[in-house]
Structures are given as structure tokens and as C-alpha cells.
Structure 1
Amino acid sequence: MHVLTLELPDFAVRVAVVAGSRRAVVFDTGCRPADMHALQPLLASLEARDVLAVYSHGDWDHVQGTAALADRRAVIAHEACRARFEDDVPRRLARLRGESPGLYDDVVLIPPDLTFSHSLTLDLGGLTLQLHHLPGHTADSLVAFVPERGLLLAGDTAEAPLPCVDWEEASLDRWIAGLQRWRDDARVTMVLPSHGPAHGPAAGRESLDVTLRYLAALREGREPAVPAQMPSFYRETHQANLERAARMRSRV
């Protein structure tokens, strides 16, 4: 597996490449095609292997670089992600272009060609990529598991120091249950979230525990424990999470 980390002003986001003997998967494509240039030598070295893209979900920092993958064979995502390309994905791109003129001119939005509702298994040749719907951060969020490597690509379903509850109808119960199943799965030996630290006590499998503790506190109406010092992005996200969770509880 090859991991590309993109440093943005407020946070970092990761793109991962998993290559088997017949196919390679680019898991998320970053914010713009220029982000993918660093992967071109790697992708060129894969020779005749099909290159597929998988969107962990439809947020802008995960889907806007796909045009750089000129030889892709398909883009795969959850079916709810395809619907987002008809609505909030282009709206978000228009907003970004207004905020940063010229920076996103090379972005061509490419919706998924192949979607699924619950799970989908891809044979990469010697490696298997299992895609599983895990809504919570967004309705279309998914995770990818490579059983031969014990690797869980968690997308935005797990994140340290805290995740983002990004939609009003989020089911914290369903998110927690789905994440807990992966936490309890003995096959999972490595976890790579799309955001958060790559090393240290909150990285890897620990990111599942960090996220589960935070979500459980939100569900129970408690103030989640968070680091005293956090970047402004996470301070603002934490406050927005508290407000969303309070609104969700008020509707129950």
C-alpha cells in the first residue's frame, strides 16, 4: 500500500493506493487533480493493471482529484454518494472556486460509475478489497477492508482527536455499532483513517477507540473529553457536533 498525505490549511487528508496483481484501487482522490501528480510514477509502474477509484464519501477533499486518473476503469462508491453529485458536491465546488479563484479550475467532477447499497467485494488479484457502508459522518460513508493485510481504510468514520457529525439525520447508534464491530474484529490489525495523526497514541487502531468514546458521550448527552489544545478546525467541529447532537436528542 502507498499513502499520500495532503497538507491543507486546516487539516491533512490521505489518499491510499492498494495494488493487487490485476487491479489497483485509489482510495479517495484528494481535493484537485494536481494533488494526484505525486502518484503518477506509482500508477505508471502498475503497467497493464486496471486502476479503479473508490470514494469513501462525497466530501470535496475526497473526490475532486479524479480527473488526474486518465486511465481509470471505474469510480466506485455507495449509492448515496452518487446522489450527492447531483446536489451538494457541485455546490461545494462552486463555493470553493468563489473563495479561492483559480485554485480549483482544473477540477472536473466525476460521479461514481458503480454503486452499491450494503457491501461490495473487489478482487484485485492476490488481494481482496471489501467495501462496507458505514454511515454516520455522512450518509454515504464507507470503509474498505483488505483481509489479507488486516488493513481497514476507515475514511472519515474514525478520526482523532474527534470525528465530524456532518448531517442532521446521523444515527449515532448505527455509527457506533458499525465502528464497534470493526473494533472487535480480530482480523483488523491496522487502521488508516483519512484524517488525524499517522503515528502516536491516537493513530491506527486507537483512532477507533477515540471515535467510539467521543460518539458515545454525544449520544448520552455528556460533554466528550477532548484535548485542551486543538487546531481551530477541530475546536469549531467539536462545537458544531455538540449543537447537532443536542438537536438530534431534542427530536427523540
Structure 2
Amino acid sequence: MMAHTNNLTLLPNQGWDERILICRNDELVQVFIVVTDRYVVLVDTLINPATAQKLVEYAQPHLAAGRTLLVINTHADYDHAWGNQRFVGQDAAHPAPIVASLRCAARFAQPDAMATLRAMQEAEPGIFGEVRLTPPTVLFDEQLTIDGGDLTLQLFATPGHTPDHISIYIPEIATLLAGDAAELPYPAARTAEELPLMRASLHALVAFEAKTVLYCHAPTAAGPQLLRDNIAYFDALEQACRAALAHGMPSAELVDDADLIARVGCPYADVTPHTDAWRDVHAFYRTAGHAAQLRMMLAWLADSF
């Protein structure tokens, strides 16, 4: 498990619309502040109350001219929604509605959510000791539009990475906040059933033809091309896995990660762009993570063989 910190840095603008601020919690995650005429919108609340508080401090100068604070959870993962208690509850320091999908609220009530919190509190009490699981308060199913006056935030379901995931499109500035629906080097399906949903979500994101695409787990310069690279990655995995199954590939559960990658004939370097950004990712993504996605693909394709 990686060590977490409460560090939060406001990134310098590198060409995106000035009404979008990007804050980075070390190397873990990036979240967004969207400043509209009517609202200051926090897109995700980070890992705990301390990082959520620092996010509010970056937003504070913009809470003027009648603007109201509004919060969005892209999904319920710990690095996106464990700062929610700053905004909801009797002791909320900055009361605000938290908008998310119905599925996001449901995940907070699942037994594994509390089990995950307890495990992380035990491992890193200084970071997670004060976290209380706090579900969102304004819920929608597939789509929701927030009229900010000058900017419109179109929230829409992009399941796959998690069943509750949403992304945001801002048409006035052709900007897409993809969240974790796309990542460098790839978003990770957690079950075989989620894999086709995730790939469909990637195609839905590409269909916007956004000029600016920003991610929670990718460099700010990744741009729209990363969506197409993610699609190409899973297309290449499908092609390799179909060929392996057609040649009698044994059960993926019977071989270790390196052997699986070799048997399928699908090394990470062969199915990703040959650039420094893709080559220099954590070793997990080149080995165990890559093998996990191959297992998901093999399981999903198995019924057709």
C-alpha cells in the first residue's frame, strides 16, 4: 500500500480554461474546481477532511459575487469521496449539496466500504483516522445538468471502472472531465462484467470530440488522445485473447501473471504507445495490472468459445 499525505498543490494553468482549477494530492490523484457565474463546484473531495479543507481554501477566493458552493462525487472510491464530511452533517465546516449517482450513494452503504475504511485507518491513522463515510445528498440516475450561468455542467454515467462512475462535459468550452473513466496507462475493470461497460464509456467520451480532456490519473497534457489510446489498448487485448482462446489457451487462473502474459502473447509494451509517459508508469501497470485486465478479457470472451 502506498503512503498517503495531506499535501495538496494547485497546478499552474497549462492552457485549459481559466475557470477550471486543478489540485493534485501528490502523485495519487487530481481533482477539479470549476468556477461558474452561479457556483463554485468542487469535483471530488479527496482522501480525508484535511485534504478537503485545503481544496476549499483554494476555492475560497472565488466564493464571491453571490456564488454558491457545490460538490460533486465522480464515484465513491476513497481518493475521491472521503472528504465528504466537510460538507454534510451537523458539524460540516462548509455545508453544501453533494451531487452524485444513485449507485455512488449505494456504495457507501455496502459492508466492504466500512471494511476498507477500517483497514486504512489501522494502516495510516494519521491520514484516515478522522474519516467518516458520508454519502452524497443529491442523487441522479443516468444524467443531470447543472446550469452555472456561463458554464453548463453535463453529468452523465460512465460505468466500468466502478459501477457508480460519472463524468462531466462542459459544452461552452468543449471540456471533458473524464474522472477515472480513462487513465494513464489504462482504466482498470474490476470484474469481467464491468469490462464491456468501461469500453462503452470510453467510446461515449470520445463521441463528445472535446478539445480539452482532463483526468484524475493522467498528466494534464494527455489530452483527447488518451481516450483513443485507452480504447486501442483494450482492442489489442481483445484481439490477442481471442487468438489465444482459439488456440486452446488454458484457464487463466492456472498460470501466474508473467506466464499468462507470455501465453497470450500480449506484453504491455506491445499494446501501448512507445513514449516515455507510457513506459515510465509504475511496474504494477506493466505486470500485475496488465495481467489482471487480460484475465478479465479472457473471462468475458470465454462464453463465445
1:31 pairs with 2:31: no
Match of 1:52 among 49, 70, 77: 70
| TM-score, with structure 1 as normaliser | 0.88
Summarize the alignment of residues 1-252 of structure 1 with structure 2, pairs less than 5 Å apart.
Answer: 1-8=20-27, 12-45=28-61, 46-47=63-64, 48-69=66-87, 70-87=93-110, 88-172=112-196, 174-186=197-209, 188-199=210-221, 203-222=222-241, 223=266, 225-226=271-272, 227-235=278-286, 236-252=288-304
CA distance in 1, matches of 2:280, 2:31: 27
> Conserved in 2, the CA contact under 8 Å of 1:176 and 1:216?
no
State the one-letter code of the partner of 1:33.
P
State the one-letter code of the partner of 1:64.
W
1:81 CA drift (Å): 1.0
1:16 CA drift (Å): 0.1
State the one-letter code of the partner of 2:124.
S
Q: What is the RMSD of the two structures over their aligned residues, measured on CA atoms?
A: 2.0
Secondary structure, in 3 states, of the residue corresponding to 1:18?
A: strand
1:58 CA drift (Å): 1.1
Aligned residue for 2:251? none
1:27 CA drift (Å): 0.7
- Quick one: percent identity of the two aligned structures? 32
Count of aligned residue pairs for this structure pair: 244
1:228 CA drift (Å): 4.7
| TM-score, with structure 2 as normaliser | 0.74
* Superimposed CA distance per residue, residues 101-153 of structure 1 (whole angstroms, 9 cap, x where no aligned partner): 33211212210112111100011221110001011111111110111111100
1:229 CA drift (Å): 4.5
**Mean CA deviation greater in 226-235 or 241-250:** 226-235
Of Structure 1 and Structure 2, the greater helix share is in: 2
Change (3 A) 1:181 1:244: closer
1:171 CA drift (Å): 4.0
State the one-letter code of the partner of 1:127.
L
> Conserved in 2, the CA contact under 8 Å of 1:60 and 1:89?
no
* Unpaired segments ≥5 residues, structure 1: none
CA distance in 1, matches of 2:58, 2:280: 37
- Larger RCO (CA under 8 A, 6+ residues apart): 1
1:197 CA drift (Å): 1.8
> Conserved in 2, the CA contact under 8 Å of 1:138 and 1:167?
no
CA distance in 1, matches of 2:192, 2:95: 34
Larger Rg, first or second structure (1 or 2): 2
* Unpaired segments ≥5 residues, structure 2: 1-19, 88-92, 242-265, 273-277
> Conserved in 2, the CA contact under 8 Å of 1:53 and 1:72?
no
Of Structure 1 and Structure 2, the greater strand share is in: 1
